[in-house]
Structure 1
Amino acid sequence: MLISHFQHGPVSAYPRDYLDGAHQELHRHREAQLLYAVRGTMRVVTAQGAWVLPPTRAVWIPPLVEHEIFMAGDVHMRSLFIAPELSPPSLQQCCVLAVTPLLRELILRAVQGREHAENPLIQQLMLEEVARLENLPLHIPMPRDRRLQAICQALLQMPDHANTLEDWAQQVGASSRTLARLFQQELQMSFNAWRQQLRLMEALPRLIAGESVQQVATALGYGSARAFSAMFCRLLGNHPREYLGALNQFKALGPIT
């Protein structure tokens, strides 16, 4: 499904709210999209991979890229749609970006009405701020091979699935050796590394919802809270409690619109 958004200038801002478990089916936009939620967590899935978005993070979706979105928790989505010719040259692929306090306030102001949305200064500042955002490693790559796709899609729906590669081999009709080779060839990581990264992505909405580090580590199959925290820090640069502390400071910037 192709969706085009009426432009109030180079940037259009749209607010939408979703309940926990909601799903936006596969679609694409003529414009580039900066997909951001001031509340709740989203998982964005394309043919190339999946991206997990806690608050303070946004995903950049280039024009005409098909994607679907899964909501975890009540989600307050605030999207920017940007004319294709104004997309920053550095953003040619989907990626997760760290939203700055300034961009957050600009987005919230832009969705308050046409007077703000059509303000040239606000639009220009948003474009400049988007171009400067830090790219973050919150990406789960997806394979091309149909057998690996079946495995990865099943794990996206159930990240704590306990099947080993040998178990999956019986289900998809290939030897475990073949599957292991394909994971390395197509994704440059092992099956266990891919599943571990997926589980770490799944940990974000659980932590944000208030589960303890130990509860999340146990639920997602880690041997200890320390092992889970080490993996979390390696990917996001902070231990879970530090990350949540920074997130709470970000939320305290002001009311959500």
Structure 2
Amino acid sequence: MTRALGWLIPGLLLALLTLNMDALTPLFHLLVDAPAPAIYARDSFLNLLGWHVLAVFVAIAAATLLALGAAIAVTRPSGKAFFPLARALANLGQTFPPVAVLALAVPALGFGLTPTLVALLLYGMLPIFENAVTGLQQIPASVREAAKGMGMTPLQRLWRVELPLVLPTLVAGIRISLIISIGTATIGSTVAAKGFGEVIIAGLLTDNLAFVLQGGIMVALMAMMLDALLRRLEQRLTPPGG
């Protein structure tokens, strides 16, 4: 029951505030001077939530495919020589601040969602890549030999043996990247991408603390809910004593 509350309470609060932020109008009125609005109303919180989730999940899904593919490649005997290069490329996304990536991407990709996806993709690859490599490297050689002795092809060994064993570690990396990206996605609003960053930036530009808190609270609730859900998934995927 306690574990369920870890994601259920943030999830319920997120849903309630998304559908009825106006209920907190009296509270937020204390933070603004009349006649400044207390609740952000230029767009619905439901629409902003949808765009924020879309940006984060599309970017992390792409980052997962690329990072996992690279991790599999460099942990094969034929690809070990490329491991330093793959790690350097994964680290590159963390080296460049997302704002710098946006500044470089906008001239080529224009304003909106696309440059934000590029920034989130580059920023989210490293934790997934490192966790996938660690998980694959920690699989005992005896397990691989047993699978080989059963007549499995390399592809069958990867799909039926290695990936199921590495899944808990991989999910941990995805969780870290997802939580980072939920917060990082707010900067996408600086290049006209929709999301809760729009509320925060509107608050900063108009010196409206209520707007800043509304955007920040929604982002925090998203992060708390998804972190708790993915932690539960990790626990379910981890074998007893694993």
Q: TM-score, normalised by structure 1?
A: 0.26
Larger relative contact order (Cα-Cα within 8 Å, sequence gap ≥ 6) = 2
Q: TM-score, normalised by structure 2?
A: 0.27
Q: Which has the higher helix share?
A: 2
Of structures 1 and 2, the larger Rg is shown by 2
